[in-house]
Amino acid sequence: MAGLQGRVAFITGAARGQGRAHAIRLAQEGADIIGVDICADIPSMTYPNASEADLQETEQLVEKQGRRMVAMKADVRDYHELRAAFEKGYREFGRVDIVIANAGIIRLGEEEDFLTEWQDVIGTNLTGVFHTVRAALPELRAGGRGGSIVLTSSTAGLKATPSLNASGSAYTAAKRGLVGLMQGLAGYLAPEWIRVNTIHPTGVASGMTMNPAMSALMEQAAAGGQNAISGMQNALPLPILQPEDIANAVAFLVSDEAKFITGTAWPLDAGFTIR
Catalytic residue IDs: 171
Degrees, nearest 5: CA angle 241-129-151: 45
Q: Which residues share a beta bridge with 34?
A: 10, 70
Query: What is the largest distance, in Å, between two alpha-carbon atoms of the chain?
Result: 56
**H or E element: which one contains 189?**
helix 166-189
Q: Could you tell me which residues come within 8 angstroms of residue 180 by beta carbon, excluding any fewer than 6 positions away?
A: none
Q: Could you tell me which residues come within 8 angstroms of residue 34 by beta carbon, excluding any fewer than 6 positions away?
A: 8, 9, 10, 11, 69, 70, 85, 86, 89, 90, 92, 93, 96
